[in-house]
Amino acid sequence: MPALLLHFDDQAQAARELAQACGLPSGEVKRHRFPDGELRLTLPFAEPGASGSLPIPETVVLYRSLHDPNEKLIEALLIASQARAWGVRKLVLVAPYLAYMRQDISFHPGEVISQRQVGRLLALDFDAVITVDPHLHRIERLDEAMPVRQALALSAAPVLAQHVADALRDECAAEGLVLIGPDSESAPWIAAAAQVLGCRHGVCSKVRHGDHEVQIQLPDLPVQGLRVVLLDDIASSGRTLAVAASGLLQRGAASVDVAVTHALLAHGALDVIRQAGVRHFWSSDSVAHASNVVRLAPLIAPALAVALQD
């Protein structure tokens, strides 16, 4: 078997869509948690000579978004090194959400630079990593953090923008719409999305004082009576979007909708966002959630095809 796409049950649909788009067979990794918290993982193929399972593929594509990352990282490393030990030649990680990318410097003395260390760990066994909107703030390219042969970072901003265009088509024309990024780091996504929407756009400046405390200064753009869409890579505690949304509504925006790539949504985050007055909350299927409206398989498939050819 030349290549097999592995997935877990929680992202089976998105993974199978990708496998289908690339013409790959797929198989599920079974997972058992022992009472003490350790994990037993069972692959759909087995050591050479074992009966009753699939033959060992030449290439394994592991589809695993790394939200709630600590266990998932261990799982990915266990699978990759076992597959290698059984003779798999090439390993590709498709992690629509790649964890630990925000800690990209020591913000305080002694802080571990997780972005670099997680990158090095994944590079031990994976030949290629494909992800979507990784939080690369102080570096330009993913391979600066991830020393694999192919490190491919895609952007969901244009497809999220297309969803916004379709959803708001009947409500307003481009002149009635404003696209806002909640912090300066969102500037690249905002620029890419604004091209699709052809509307005015700007970014806020943000100062974070703690996990649940952010201060946001809105851009100098008129929003009175206009439909505003906030676009960001990640919604985690929801505070960034909530603070930006209430500021925009106080300035007279007719509505504030939100589109994010990764709906990480820590406990209570969606309530915080809704209570701030956000009307629609849309996300991509990088992390499975009821708000998923944009499927990433068509975006990822061409990149995976390139990684498989190389």
Binding site for ligand R5P (CB under 6 A): 182-183, 185-186, 214, 232-240
Q: Cβ closer to ligand R5P: 11 or 237?
A: 237
Q: Cβ closer to ligand R5P: 81 or 205?
A: 205
d(CA 186, CA 286): 18
| Residue 294 β-bridge partners | 284
Q: Cβ closer to ligand R5P: 236 or 291?
A: 236
Contact between 240 and 265 (Cβ < 8 Å): no
Burial class (CB in 10 A: 0-12, 13-18, 19+), 18: buried
To ligand R5P, the closest distance from the beta carbon of 115 in angstroms equals 13
d(CA 99, CA 72): 10
Q: Cβ closer to ligand R5P: 96 or 182?
A: 182
d(CA 281, CA 306): 33
To ligand R5P, the closest distance from the beta carbon of 140 in angstroms equals 16
Contact between 280 and 256 (Cβ < 8 Å): no
To ligand R5P, the closest distance from the beta carbon of 129 in angstroms equals 20
To ligand R5P, the closest distance from the beta carbon of 227 in angstroms equals 21
To ligand R5P, the closest distance from the beta carbon of 128 in angstroms equals 25
Instruction: Classify 191 as helix, strand or coil.
Output: helix
For residues 219, 222, 226, 227, the Cα torsion angle rounded to the nearest 10 degrees is: -10
Helices 114-125 and 69-85: crossing angle in degrees, nearest 10, is 20
To ligand R5P, the closest distance from the beta carbon of 239 in angstroms equals 4
Contact between 46 and 53 (Cβ < 8 Å): yes
Q: Cβ closer to ligand R5P: 90 or 262?
A: 262
To ligand R5P, the closest distance from the beta carbon of 177 in angstroms equals 21
Per DSSP (E only), the strands in 165-226 are: 177-181, 200-203, 205-210, 213-217
Q: Cβ closer to ligand R5P: 152 or 235?
A: 235
Q: Cβ closer to ligand R5P: 252 or 268?
A: 268
Contact between 77 and 91 (Cβ < 8 Å): no
